Structure 1
Amino acid sequence: MAITGTTTAGLASPASSSTSLEASVYRKVTWRIVPFLMLCYVVAYLDRVNVGFAKLQMLNDLKFSETVYGLGAGVFFFGYFLFEVPSNVILHRVGARRWIARIMITWALISGAFMFVNSPTTFYVLRFLLGIAEAGFFPGIILYLTYWYPAERRARIVCTFMTAIPIAGLIGGPLSGWIMEAFAGVQGMAGWQWMFVLEAVPAVVMGVAVLLYLDDGIRAAKWLNEGEKRILEERIAQDAHGKTAHPSLRAVFSDGRVWLMALIYFCCVMGQYGLTFWMPTLIKTAGITGVLNIGMFTAIPYAAAVAAMLLLGRSSDQRRERRWHLATPMLLGAVGLVGSALAGTTNTGVAIVFLAIAAAGVLSSAPLFWSLPTAFLNGVAAAAGIAAINSVGNLAGFASPFLIGAIKDMTQSTNVGLYVLAGVLVAGAVIVLRVPARLVNR
């Protein structure tokens, strides 16, 4: 009996071996695709929001008002809204590799063309075209991740992927500030013009890299053996049970749950873009001067956001709890926005701390949100539903910067705008907690 007991203790159970093998396969998948997708998103987000740094010089050079800037920053999302659902449906049909590469190369060319902005009209037109070009990139990546990861693994993966947003701030802030300062006047061009040109180059490079590196799905991955593919495909098939697979796009848009998700995401995005488009201005308002110094200080809130996103994503998956893991950072973001407004220019250190709290909360809420709709959407419903939620929610990307710009022109302060954003985040958190737990806790 003793010998038998010893032998049994030394052997792993079949269930344990299976779990260990599955974990090993997912580690392999994660290291293969997630860092690459993060790099793509860093490049995407930098080209989307570097207009916030250009503002520090461009408004004075071109005599733009704060309202003109806010409208131009936000009009991006009209093009984004109009073309996002068609883009995601096309991606689902033709494959991620070719479509994501097309998106990246197109937006790079348009982003570089911002060097030619010389009037509000050209600014608006290029921002609108940039939105059209980039439409489908983010929801396409979210959809692509559902091809590889079941629901219980997805919050952590999406949070890891979306740390690209604060990483773009960590890198882009100092980089943009340095380019604008170091290249000002070179070849007769302003620093902000050089910033648009130089920061567009990585998107072209990454667009080509997508064609060479990315696989459309599990079956196309030559770096997986047949056994590994089978494990992944079985987990995705199991995850699909109980999810909504609408027979038509019309059915997707008539699903009330999709519109509830869009409303929640609208609240998240109001905070996200209110913060990211105006972060350089808020840092300047806190008492920091010089574009390079402003760029360096923006790294502090974004660093806090990276840590918060990773911790909350891991916690949400471990506990299989989604609602409180989303509502809590939304409320934290509201506190940070109000605190930074109250600190103002009277206490630079306190203002930066509250901006770090705001960034940690606001930027964590968006990736945590995506564990909700992907818990019940599947197949074409996921392609169209994710795109619809993202496109409607991202209309807040128009409302948020325009609202703050208009309020700043009227009051010469961003404080009222920050209070409004905080109120929207609180309302969104309340709506999240009204979502049935059984719908999303997977």
Structure 2
Amino acid sequence: MSAVERSTMRKVAWRLLPFLIVCYFISYLDRVNVGFAGPAMRADLGLSATAFGTAAGIFFLAYFAFEVPSNLALNRFGARMWIARIMITWGILSGAQAFVTGPTSFNIVRVLLGAAEAGFFPGVIFYLTLWFPSAYRGRIIGWFMFAIPFSSALGSPVSGYLLNMDGIWGLHGWQWMFIIEAIPAVLMTGGVLWYLTDRPSEATWLTTEEKTWLQNRLAEEERAREAVVTFKWWETLVNPKVIGYGLVYLGLVSPLYTLGFFQPQIIKALGDLSNVQVGFLNAFPYAVGAVTMVLWGFFSDKVKERKWTTIFAAACATAGLLIAASNDGLVLKLVGLALASYGIFAALPIFWSLPTAMLSGVAAAAGIAWINSVGNLGGYFGPQVFGIIKDRTGGDYYGLLFMAALPILSIVLVLILDRKPAASSQAAAAE
């Protein structure tokens, strides 16, 4: 590694990653804190598990519809302006969840929240491809997605304490939780406008030599990708391989969001636990996932391998969910949930190294958004199916078994999609 590469990538990583991690931390917490509010909301609003799972997951239908247009707008207007727009609208609507009065208003707010937040995650993934060469993406996306388990690990006990504000100024604790946790998103809007830089050519914080090296490296990789295959943005929407990667992502996202929405309720049912105790216990699997996500991304970059590192992690997710389904004791249940958390979170950043190795330019903006859209449909169907099964069986056993089957879908599809491109994926990782 040359001195200019080392200095450039160090500056880019320290400039962009901590800020984007904070933004995604806020985003993900605002997306899934509804799961922690679930037990109290269901009691106060008279919601069944099916109604709650449907409302929690309906967010992703709007997310699906607006994802690609949002990412194309980000490519057109720049990350700084568009991410700021996303943050202020989702912050306002996340806080509005405090004022729902039943299933109808809950569904409406969740739909609007999904439309508002659409494009943030795939937009940042696309944004990172404008700054980081392929060889860095496993660890970089891992660090960025570190915000998912970290937000749940830290946010769970915080949410537990906020739920204890029940009765202050006539509001329920879950209402205070939504209001207080929405404020950072609104405040960060100004930070995005002031801090982010759209492209390397505009980076005044890089030297001329560093900008030249980074632009040349990224342009060289783009030419190499386009020499193999070139997509128009709309062609990515019907490309079988892109759709296949979307289904791989669905197999990982479905259990991710189902646990995000229902895991506090699963833990609560294990004994006479307070909100704060549930918060800390709920944080444990996410803490495991946060650490292993970053370490597994580093390992994947080091060995220059994407396919089998993704498959192994997905297999661990299935094993963990099977353990959680088969045990009703607190310790073994948490061990299973922690292993599932490791598998899901370790697989996610490495998975994204696969499609970004074949997409570039505006096709990357559309393709990444489309993969994320298809995958995030699992955020709708997963919680809904789990809620239906829970209502009909009175427990979590069959719902967790269903979730355990979904990462197997991801494994099969990765084996199919990456039969020939395995070598090229490794080569892309080594570039």
Alignment TM class, shorter chain as reference: over 0.9
Matched, 1:415 2:397: yes
Matched, 1:314 2:298: yes
- Secondary structure in 1 aligned to 2:276? helix
2:210 aligns to what? 228
Q: How many residues align?
A: 422
CA distance in structure 2 between the partners assigned to 1:216 and 1:250 by the alignment: 23
CA distance in structure 1 between the partners assigned to 2:152 and 2:93 by the alignment: 21
Does the 8 Å contact 1:283/1:298 carry over to 2?
yes
Of the two, which has the highest radius of gyration? 1
Does the 8 Å contact 1:246/1:380 carry over to 2?
no
Does the 8 Å contact 1:79/1:131 carry over to 2?
yes
Amino acid aligned to 2:397 = N
**TM-score with structure 2 setting the length:** 0.96
1:438 aligns to what? 423
2:351 aligns to what? 369
2:265 aligns to what? 281
CA shift, 1:20, in A, is: 3.0
CA distance in structure 2 between the partners assigned to 1:367 and 1:294 by the alignment: 28
Runs of 4+ in 1 over 4 A off after TM superposition: 244-247
1:139 aligns to what? 122
Does the 8 Å contact 1:107/1:130 carry over to 2?
yes
CA shift, 1:64, in A, is: 0.5
1:4 aligns to what? none
Gaps of 5+ in 1: 1-15
| Cα 1:20/1:126, change in 2 over 3 Å | same
> What does the per-residue CA deviation read over 1:319-348, in whole Å, with 9 as the maximum and x for residues that have no partner?
11001111111110111111011111xx21
Matched, 1:96 2:91: no
Give the alignment partner of residue 299 of structure 1, picking from 279, 283, 305. 283
Does the 8 Å contact 1:286/1:352 carry over to 2?
no
2:5 aligns to what? 22
> What does the per-residue CA deviation read over 1:120-158, in whole Å, with 9 as the maximum and x for residues that have no partner?
000000000000000000000000000001111101100
CA distance in structure 2 between the partners assigned to 1:186 and 1:247 by the alignment: 56
CA distance in structure 2 between the partners assigned to 1:42 and 1:78 by the alignment: 22
Does the 8 Å contact 1:242/1:376 carry over to 2?
no
| Cα 1:97/1:378, change in 2 over 3 Å | same
CA distance in structure 2 between the partners assigned to 1:157 and 1:228 by the alignment: 19
Does the 8 Å contact 2:233/2:364 carry over to 1?
no
CA distance in structure 1 between the partners assigned to 2:263 and 2:238 by the alignment: 37
CA shift, 1:82, in A, is: 0.5
CA distance in structure 1 between the partners assigned to 2:327 and 2:360 by the alignment: 46
| Cα 1:226/1:288, change in 2 over 3 Å | farther
CA distance in structure 1 between the partners assigned to 2:9 and 2:271 by the alignment: 46
- Aligned residues: CA RMSD: 1.2
Amino acid aligned to 1:321 = E
CA shift, 1:160, in A, is: 0.7
Give the alignment partner of residue 383 of structure 2, picking from 379, 401, 406. 401
1:41 aligns to what? 24
Does the 8 Å contact 1:79/1:132 carry over to 2?
yes
1:53 aligns to what? 36
> What does the per-residue CA deviation read over 1:363-405, in whole Å, with 9 as the maximum and x for residues that have no partner?
2222221001000000011000000110011001000000110
2:232 aligns to what? 248
2:143 aligns to what? 160
Amino acid aligned to 2:41 = M
CA distance in structure 1 between the partners assigned to 2:332 and 2:399 by the alignment: 19
**TM-score with structure 1 setting the length:** 0.93
Gaps of 5+ in 2: none
CA shift, 1:247, in A, is: 5.3
CA distance in structure 1 between the partners assigned to 2:357 and 2:79 by the alignment: 21
> What does the per-residue CA deviation read over 1:218-270, in whole Å, with 9 as the maximum and x for residues that have no partner?
11111111111111111101211232474533322232211111111111111
Instruction: Give aligned-pair identity as a percent.
Output: 45
- Secondary structure in 1 aligned to 2:200? coil
Does the 8 Å contact 2:38/2:261 carry over to 1?
no
2:322 aligns to what? 338
Does the 8 Å contact 1:56/1:291 carry over to 2?
no
2:197 aligns to what? 215
1:195 aligns to what? 177
